[in-house]
Structure 1
Amino acid sequence: MNLFKKLFNTPKEKVTEEPFSELQNLPLDQIFVKNFIKNSGKFLYCTTLQEVIANLNNIIQENSWKTISCNDNDLLKLIKSLSLKTTDKLTQQFPIFLSCEHLIAENGSILFSSNQLKEHKISELSENFIVYATTSQLVASKGESLTGIKTRYQGNIPSNISAIKNYNLNCKDDDFMNYGNTNSKNLYLLLFEDL
Structure 2
Amino acid sequence: MSLFKRLLNPNYKKSDGKAKRAQHADHSSYYPEQKLPVDEKFTFNFKNNGGKFIYCENWEEITEAFDNIMLENDWYEQDVFCINKQLCQKFDGFNLNFGSSEKATFFLSNCESLVANNGSILLSSNQIKEKKLKELPLNVIIFATTSQLVDTISEGLRIIKNQSSGYIPSNITTIQDFETEKEKDFMSYGSSTKNLYLLLLEDL
**TM-score using structure 1 length:** 0.81
Long gaps (5+) in structure 2: 1-28
Long gaps (5+) in structure 1: 1-16
Cα RMSD of the aligned pairs, angstroms, is 1.9
Q: How many pairs are equivalent?
A: 171
- 2:4 alignment counterpart: none
Q: Deviations over 1:9-49 (max 9, x none)?
A: xxxxxxxx9xxx96x53321111011100111001001111
Q: Which moved more, 1:92-101 or 1:40-49?
A: 92-101
Q: Which residue identity is paired with 1:105?
A: A
Change in CA separation of 1:92 and 1:32 when aligned onto 2, cut-off 3 Å:
farther
Residue 142 (structure 1) aligned with residue 153 (structure 2): yes
Aligned partner of 2:93 among 81, 87, 93 = 81
- 2:83 alignment counterpart: 71
Q: Deviations over 1:79-113 (max 9, x none)?
A: 1222x222220535320110000000001000000
Identity of aligned residues (%): 43
Contact kept in structure 2, 1:92 and 1:125, CA below 8 Å: no
Deviation for aligned residue 1:152: 1.2
Q: Which moved more, 1:66-75 or 1:47-56?
A: 66-75
Paired with 1:154 and 1:97, the residues of 2 have a C-alpha distance of 26
Structure 1's consecutive aligned runs of 4 or more residues displaced over 6 angstroms after TM superposition are none
In terms of Rg, which structure is larger?
Answer: 1
Paired with 1:152 and 1:90, the residues of 2 have a C-alpha distance of 29
- 2:14 alignment counterpart: none
Residue 46 (structure 1) aligned with residue 56 (structure 2): yes
Paired with 1:87 and 1:36, the residues of 2 have a C-alpha distance of 27
Q: Which residue identity is paired with 2:138?
A: E
